[in-house]
Amino acid sequence: MGLITVGDLLSYYPRTWEDLTQITPLQGVRAASGKVTVRARLKSFSGFRTSRRRMFLINGLLEDDTGTLKVVWFNQPYLAQNLKKGAEYYLSGPVKDQDGRPVLTNPGVEPAERTPIHSGRIIPIYPATAGISTRMLRRWLKDSIATIRELPDTLPDEIKKNYRLIDRAHAVENIHFPHSTPAIDAARRRLGFEELLLVHLGLLLAKRQWEELPGSAILSFQGDPFGATFIKDFGSKLGFKLTPTQKTAIKEILGDMAKSIPMNRLLLGDVGSGKTAVAAAALVATVKAGRQSALMAPTEVLATQHYHNLQPLLAKFGIRTTLLTGSTKLHDYSEIENGSIDVVIGTHALIQKQVVFKNLNIVIVDEQHRFGVRQREKLKNKALDITPHYLSLSATPIPRTLFLGLLHNLDISELTAVPAGRLPIITRLVTERNRDTAYKLIEREIADKHAVFVITPLIDEVLDDEQERASIASELRSLKHLFSKARTSSIHGRVAPEEKLKLMAAIKNGGLDILVATSVIEVGIDVPRATIIWIKNADRFGLAQLHQLRGRVGRSGLQSYCLIETALEDETDIERLTSFVKITDGSKLAEIDLGLRGPGAFFGSEQSGLLKLKIANLTDKRLITETRAAAEQILRTDPTLVHHPELKSKLQFDYVTHEE
């Protein structure tokens, strides 16, 4: 679980809380009471093992001043050794009906002689795992909580006073064992404030340090101050018309590259918005200035796709390009070192020791959150004499709250327009009632020589799963039966890189009709002939991820369709998926997703650094604004945090060590 120290345990926050403060008199307990908490004496009990299922049962009778109540425990034989007749206990559990009488069933139990941990109060509910229950975590935290008075407070007194924040020790105590709902709110605000303050400090310091690094102005715009001539020349060789936001983004990038301060820009664009064309402009501009460029992608499939899309375009400008991945190693690396190769496109293979550049001056990283900090730094360090310009691309829909509140520490270019000729993707929710219509649509598209993606959450079948979930194996069987004449195959994380490339080439060039996949195809796959993506068990994907998957179709002038299917009837899930059907704006969906699922579920385990937040609410615009103002206030008077050692040490630990 990643809990190494007591400090890790103390910062393992509850996912929710349950209020068990209401003590119900035994006389008031009814079979329809639901879950109740009682304080009563154990008048009698006996334990025995059943003859049929060999289940160990403990039957007991509780009493208080108002009456009696039967209690039963299942398969907890150790309780027979620990319970004492006549002792008083707190007990919390569900009430069932047995022959018309209420029975307290399998309740949590603890002696009333000491302060309760699991009942009779607001109790924390923790994310648990096999072998470690929320009760165990609760007990360990109660034992550890006595040490928190020794915790130094990270926040300066002035900040706590200005923003009405409780001290850290009280916040930690009340997040785990609160005495009231307002105490939870105060603790969440204090701990969330600290998290976001550290994020802002880290970003502001990083930007300041970046701007102090030696860079190299690789373009001069004398006579062409806005890059108009370059953009016109570049656009004439593209074969399609640049959108207004693409032109704006190119101008912003060229403007950065004309400065001696190295560029540090994020190119943010929704699926299909044309980020690759903008990246190509940056590559061409760099090579025209006599410098080398590198583009790094997270997978071989994506790197290879970038190479096949960019190489013909770059060749029109006389630019020499090569591909470098784990399975496409170069025989001669000297062509990169002596400058014969202008642009190197590849995976993390670019950071190998044998890859030496002559004069690398721009690094472009696609989907940078999928690389570790060290990998990105190693690539930037390939430019030996200067710090190269740095451009990161991302199609991950980012909530506007996060974009405006946090990420404006970066220079950001945003693509909002879709290239001309693209039709809106028609999105439909598939149920039992309209599944046959979906089958007919697939048959029609295959007959028209178009391609179909089918997405499943699992590779293998889960036989004992309570809810039926689609898998690669089950869908392959079903599709081959339904569409027997279609050429069908599958791709997922266990497929070898070489085979993945063959399958992607086949679906792109017409050698396959249907490709069954996991979300491995979520990012960057460009198959213009693909017109249908059918997402099975769509309830298991976040809205932002569904939007990414939807972007795998609609990449040409063909009408495309996104079919989402769920077997669940939960109203919340249906409402969430219905919003996906209606909304096509990725950032709006991301905002909804963040609010519904929280930052952990939204960003996933691959994200690091500023997105690795445990408790801060990223939809809280006021908190984001306040913490940014507090960070700026601190750095105005203490630019290096020398007078704030606690903040500095926590900043280094949380946003350097953990990232790497």
pLDDT digits (tens, 9 = 90+) for 223-234: 565 567 888 888
In-domain check, residue 399: no
Q: Of the candidates 71, 92, 120, which is a domain's last residue?
A: 120
Cα 369 from Cα 347, distance rounded (Å) = 14
| Mean pLDDT within 323-340 | 86
Residues 364 and 439 in one domain: no
In-domain check, residue 152: no
Q: How many CA atoms lie within 13 A of 441 on its CB side?
A: 19
What pLDDT is stored for residue 286 in this prediction?
92
Residues 386 and 452 in one domain: no
| Report for 74-78, 307-311, 415-419: range of highest mean pLDDT | 307-311
The residue among 586 and 276 whose pLDDT is bigger is 276
Tens digit of pLDDT for each residue in 335-363? Answer: 999 999 999 999 888 888 888 999 898 99
Cα 398 from Cα 12, distance rounded (Å) = 26
Cα 373 from Cα 392, distance rounded (Å) = 13
| Mean pLDDT within 119-142 | 88
Residues 314 and 390 in one domain: yes
Q: What count of other Cβ atoms lies within 10 Å of the Cβ of residue 575? A: 10
What pLDDT is stored for residue 48 in this prediction?
86
Return the residue matching tokens 């009682």. Answer: 38
Tens digit of pLDDT for each residue in 531-548? Answer: 999 999 888 888 878 888
Quote the radius of gyration of the chain (alpha carbons, Å): 30
Tokens in use for 242? Answer: 């640049």
Residues 565 and 453 in one domain: yes
**Residue 660: pLDDT band with limits 50, 70, 90:** very low
Q: Of the candidates 565, 583, 601, which is a domain's last residue?
A: 583
DSSP string, 38-83: EEEEEEEEEEEE-TTT--EEEEEEEEETTEEEEEEEES-TTHHHH-
Residue 321 forms beta bridges with which residues?
Answer: 343
Residues 561 and 436 in one domain: yes
The answer to which of 73-87, 466-480, 481-495, 546-560 has the lowest mean pLDDT is 466-480
What pLDDT is stored for residue 531 in this prediction?
96
Tokens in use for 533? Answer: 């993506």
Q: How confident is the prediction for the chain on average, in pLDDT?
A: 84
Encoded amino acid at 224, one letter: D
Instruction: Please tell me whether the overall predicted TM-score, pTM, comes out greater than 0.75 for this model.
Output: no
In-domain check, residue 107: yes
Residues 361 and 444 in one domain: no
In-domain check, residue 352: yes
The values of phi and psi at residue 366, to 5°, are -90, 135
The answer to which of 374-383, 398-407, 453-462, 598-607 has the lowest mean pLDDT is 598-607
Residue 656 has pLDDT above 50, yes or no: no
In-domain check, residue 292: yes
Number of domains comprising the chain: 3
Residues 436 and 538 in one domain: yes
Tens digit of pLDDT for each residue in 32-59? Answer: 777 899 999 999 999 888 877 778 899 9
What pLDDT is stored for residue 409 in this prediction?
62
Residues 496 and 361 in one domain: no
Q: Of the candidates 120, 152, 187, which is a domain's last residue?
A: 120
- 410 and 265 in contact (C-beta within 8 Å)? yes
Return the residue matching tokens 């327009």. Answer: 417
Which CATH number do you get for residue 327?
3.40.50.300
Residues 371 and 512 in one domain: no
Residues 534 and 481 in one domain: yes
What pLDDT is stored for residue 235 in this prediction?
86
What pLDDT is stored for residue 310 in this prediction?
93
**Residue 414: pLDDT band with limits 50, 70, 90:** confident
In-domain check, residue 369: yes
Residues 460 and 576 in one domain: yes
The residue among 600 and 2 whose pLDDT is bigger is 2
Residue 601 has pLDDT above 50, yes or no: no
| Mean pLDDT within 151-173 | 91
- Domain containing 305 equals 228-257+274-394
In-domain check, residue 556: yes
Residues 444 and 544 in one domain: yes
Cα 103 from Cα 94, distance rounded (Å) = 8
